[in-house]
Amino acid sequence: MIELAVNARGVGKTFPTKDGDVVALTEVELTVEAGEFVSLIGPSGCGKSTLLRLIADLDPASTGTLEIFGKPASQARVDQDYGIAFQQAGLLPWRTVAGNIALPLELHGMAKPARAARVAELAELVGLTEFVDRYPDQLSGGMQQRVAIARALAEQPRLLLMDEPFGALDEMTREYLQGELTRIAAETGAAVVFVTHSIPEAVFLSDRVVVMSPRPGRITEILSTGLDDIRDEALRESPEYFERVTAVREALHGIPVERANER
C-alpha cells in the first residue's frame, strides 16, 4: 500500500463571524501520495489557504477527518512531519539568514555543532551559502523566499506546504525558483502541496492539479498532468505543456470569480 502524505475525507471549515457563519470549505476529498507534487488552484476566496492551514493544523477542521501520514494533523505538526512556507517569507528581521534557517532546529533543541552543519547544508541546497551572515532586510524578495524554504526544510519534513510562495515575486525570479523547487522536491523526496493563482506555474510544477471553486469553497476537478519528471525550460515550450495549461484553464472556466470579500 502506498503511504498517504495527506488524506482528507469530507473536510469542511466554517468561520463564525459577526455577520453569520462563513463556509470557507466543504466536502473536501483529497489524497496526496508520499513524494507527490500537488497544486491547489482557483480564484481568490475559494479556500486554498484555508485547506493548507487545516493540513498544517494552524486552524482546526470543522467537519470530516484529516490525516497526515496516517496521524491527526495536530500530531503531525508536533512531530514536525511537514514544513511550511507562506507568500510573506515571515523571516525574523533581527536574525541573520543562518539564524532564521536554524530557528526550528533551535526550538527542538538540536545541539549547536549539528545545527551549524545542517544550516550549511540547507543554505547550499537553496544556493545562499554566501549570504548566511546577512540580515533579511539586506536580501531581495526572491532570496528571502529561499531562506523561508530552507527553514521549512530544516527538519527534513516528508511534506512541504506552500501558500503562494512566489506570488509576490517578478516573473523571472518566479520561473527560476520554480525550477529550483522541482529540483529540491526531487532531491528531498518530499511531497508538496502548493497553492497558486497561476495556471502555468501549477502545470509546470505538479503531478496533479486540484481545481477549486468558491461559495462555498470546494474541489471541482483534479487533473493529472502526466508530464515526466524532467522539469526544465524546454518543458515550458513543449506542446504537452501547452495542452495541460489549456486543460486547467478550461477546468477553471465557468468558475465565478469572487470580487467582494477578497482576501
Partner 1 sequence: MTTTSNAVRTPPVWVRVVAPITVGVVILVIWIVAVDVVKAAPRALPSPIAITNEFVLRSGIIVEDMGITASNALIGLVAGAIVAIVLAALAATSRPVDGMLAPLVAAIAVVPIVALTPILNTMFGASSQFGRQSVAAIAAFVPVFVNVLRGLRQTRPVHRDVLRSSAATGLQTFRVLTLPTALPYLMSGLRIASSIAVIAALVAEYFGGPADGIGTAIATYAKSGRASLAFAYVAGGIAIGLVFFLVTSLLEWLVSRRKPV
Ligand X SMILES: Nc1ncnc2c1ncn2[C@@H]1O[C@H](COP(=O)(O)OP(=O)(O)O)[C@@H](O)[C@H]1O
Residues engaged in binding ligand X (CB under 6 A): 15, 17, 22, 24, 44-50, 217, 261, 263
Choice between 38 and 56, CB closer to partner 1:
56
Mention every residue, 6+ apart, whose C-beta is less than 8 A from residue 254: none
Choice between 95 and 236, CB closer to partner 1:
95
Residue 45 to residues 23, 28, 52, 257, Cα–Cα distance (Å): 11, 15, 13, 9
Q: What is the largest CA-CA distance in the chain?
A: 55
- 83 lies in the site for partner 1, by CB under 8 A: yes
Stretch that binds partner 1, among 28-36, 106-114, 188-196, 213-221 (CB under 8 A): 106-114
**In a 3-state reduction of DSSP, which class is residue 235?**
helix
90's contact among ligand X, Mg ion, partner 1, none, with CB below 5 to 8 A by partner kind, is partner 1
Contact set with Mg ion (CB under 5 A): 49
- 176 lies in the site for partner 1, by CB under 8 A: no
- 173 lies in the site for partner 1, by CB under 8 A: no
Burial of 161 (0-12, 13-18, 19+ CB in 10 A): buried
The CA radius of gyration of the chain, in Å to the nearest whole number, is 18
* Minimal distance, residue 196 CB to ligand X, in Å: 10
Choice between 16 and 93, CB closer to partner 1:
93
Name the residue with the smallest CB distance to Mg ion. 49
Choice between 88 and 198, CB closer to partner 1:
88
Where would I find the H helices in 69-214? 73-78, 97-107, 112-125, 141-153, 171-188, 199-205
Binding mask 86-105 for partner 1 (x = CB under 8 A): x-xxxxxxx--------xx-
**In a 3-state reduction of DSSP, which class is residue 206?**
coil
Mention every residue, 6+ apart, whose C-beta is less than 8 A from residue 9: 29, 64, 65, 66
Q: How many other C-beta atoms can be found within 10 angstroms of the C-beta atom of residue 207? A: 18
Choice between 226 and 256, CB closer to Mg ion:
256
* Minimal distance, residue 193 CB to ligand X, in Å: 13
Stretch that binds partner 1, among 4-12, 33-41, 77-85, 186-194 (CB under 8 A): 77-85
Q: Distance between CA 213 and CA 204 in Å, rounded?
A: 21
User: What are the residues binding partner 1 (CB under 8 A)?
Assistant: 56-58, 77-78, 80, 82-84, 86, 88-94, 103-104, 106-108, 135-137, 139, 144, 151
